[in-house]
Amino acid sequence: MLQSIEILSMVIKMQNIENLSPIIYLVLPCYNEEEIIQISVEVLESKVLSLINGNLINPASKIVFVNDGSTDKTLDILKKIKNEKIVIINLSANCGHQNALIAGLEYSLDKCDCVISLDCDLQDDVNLIDSMISRFRDGYEVIYGVRDDRSSDTFFKRFSAEGFYDIMKILGVNIIRNHADYRALSNRALRSLLSFREANLFLRGIVPLLGYKSCNLYYKRNIRVAGESKYPFFKMLSFALDGITSFSVQPLRMLSIIGATISLASLIFGIWALITYFMGKTISGWTSVVVPMYFLGGLQILGLGILGEYIGKIYKETKNRPRYFIDSIID
């Protein structure tokens, strides 16, 4: 009798642990990743299973792969290795990394306690997930994966990324340095994030606006095991420009300041030119005409370009187009 009560209390205890352990959804956008997707699934699956076995996460936890309109065999491979732990969201076309991520996040809302987004090329160290979960269980709602080592990057990528963070800082945008899209969010934080309805959703800029209790976890970013980066120079540049113009109107303000400074300088220059004219020392020369002409011409075009960037943003926002279409969900 005593033994059966003990067994019963043990079962109840185990059930409690299970109930306490959070349901975690991992969300991974993937685009043309046929070379790595299989390894990625294996690594993530064994990570999730080990966390479940350790009672750290709930057995209802899942891995959500968002196929962002891949034109290679990514989807076929995913379908072949699909099991009950894996969900496949198949987008109707390539919508870009941020939109694919949002598709996965929207799917996960209210299905889990905590959602973790990461890239499927295994560059984000999956072992950080353990610490993310333990922080989540400690009550943190926004947990940033931050790279503390960029040695796996090319010199160019490192240089451009550092420059981007410096510009964002100068422009007064609150962005976590060296944090990309590897992060854990509580369901509440996720709901807040998804309430931003702007078309240009630059996630890493918006997440710090959410508030909630947050912390940084540091990791070393691995090199891509296979396949190649989907962010060549121009795509990266346009992503950075999007980030800057989505979060700061400082470039427009700087434009006004530069314009005002140059106008003042031209006024002084004009007065000086008049004085020298009346003094009979008329300036003749080509340089003094051509240099300001080119300079001001360049400045005007730059100004128009910056204005254009923002007008383009307004244009996109007013159209209010959907971010993605789902072709099928296999869960």
Binding site for ligand UDP (CB under 6 A): 29-31, 33, 68, 94, 96-97, 100, 119-121, 123, 229-231
CA distances from 312 to 52, 235, 266 (A): 47, 17, 31
Residues 194-253 touching Mg ion, rule: CB under 5 A, are: none
Binding flag, residue 121, Mg ion (CB under 5 A): yes
Bin 108: left if φ > 0, else alpha if -120 < ψ < 50, else beta. Answer: alpha
Binding-site partner at residue 231 among Mg ion, ligand UDP, none, CB < 5 to 8 Å by type: ligand UDP
> In angstroms, what CA-CA distances link 14 with 38, 59, 138, 154?
33, 13, 20, 48
* 78, 86, 105, 200 from 330: Cα distances, Å: 10, 8, 16, 28
Cβ at position 35, least distance to Mg ion in Å:
12
Nearer to ligand UDP, 21 or 246 (CB): 246
Instruction: Give the distance, in angstroms, between the CA of residue 204 and the centroid of all CA atoms in the same chain.
Output: 4
Q: Single out the segment in contact with Mg ion by CB under 5 A; choices: 50-58, 118-126, 263-271, 312-320.
A: 118-126
Q: How far apart are CA 189 and CA 211, in angstroms?
A: 8
CB-based contacts of 162-168 (< 8 A; 24+ apart in sequence): 164/240, 164/243, 167/240, 167/244, 168/205, 168/243, 168/244, 168/247, 168/248
Spatial contact of 30 and 67, defined as CB atoms under 8 Å apart: yes
Q: Tell me which of ligand UDP, Mg ion, none is bound by residue 94, counting a contact when its beta carbon lies within the kind-specific cut-off of 5 to 8 angstroms.
A: ligand UDP
User: Taking CB within 5 to 8 Å according to partner kind, which of Mg ion, ligand UDP, none is near residue 104?
Assistant: none
Edge-to-edge strands, sheet with 62-67 = 214-220, 142-149, 179-186, 114-117, 24-30, 62-67, 86-91, 326-330
Question: Which of 30, 217 has the CB closer to ligand UDP?
Answer: 30
> Nearest distance from residue 122's CB to Mg ion, in Å?
9
As measured in angstroms, the least distance from the Cβ of 71 to ligand UDP is 11
123 binds Mg ion (CB under 5 A): yes
Residue 145 or 251 with smaller CB distance to ligand UDP: 145
Relative to beta strand 24-30, strand 142-149 is unpaired
Q: How far is the CB of 40 from Mg ion (least distance, A)?
A: 11
Under rule CB under 5 A, residue 98 binds Mg ion? no
The least CB distance from residue 237 to ligand UDP, in Å, is: 13
Choose the one of Mg ion, ligand UDP, none that binds residue 230, judging by a C-beta under 5 to 8 angstroms depending on kind.
ligand UDP
User: Interface with Mg ion includes 33 (CB under 5 A)?
Assistant: no
The residue among 123 and 186 lying less far from Mg ion, judged by its C-beta, is 123
Binding of Mg ion at residue 32 (CB under 5 A)?
A: no
Q: How far is the CB of 25 from ligand UDP (least distance, A)?
A: 16
What's the rounded Cα separation, in Å, for the pair 96 and 69?
9
Rounded to a whole number of angstroms, the minimum distance from the CB of residue 174 to ligand UDP is 22
Nearer to Mg ion, 34 or 119 (CB): 119
Cα dihedral 294→296→297→303 (10° resolution)? 140
Using the CB atoms, write b or e for 35-61: b if 16+ within 10 Å: bbbbebbeebbebbeebbeeebbbebb
216 binds, among ligand UDP, Mg ion, none (CB under 5 to 8 A by kind): none
Residue type, 52: I
> Cβ closer to ligand UDP: 120 or 210?
120
Does 124 bind Mg ion (CB under 5 A)? Our answer is: no
Pick one of Mg ion, ligand UDP, none as the site partner of residue 30 (Cβ within 5 to 8 A by kind).
Answer: ligand UDP
Q: Which residues bind Mg ion (CB under 5 A)?
A: 119, 121, 123
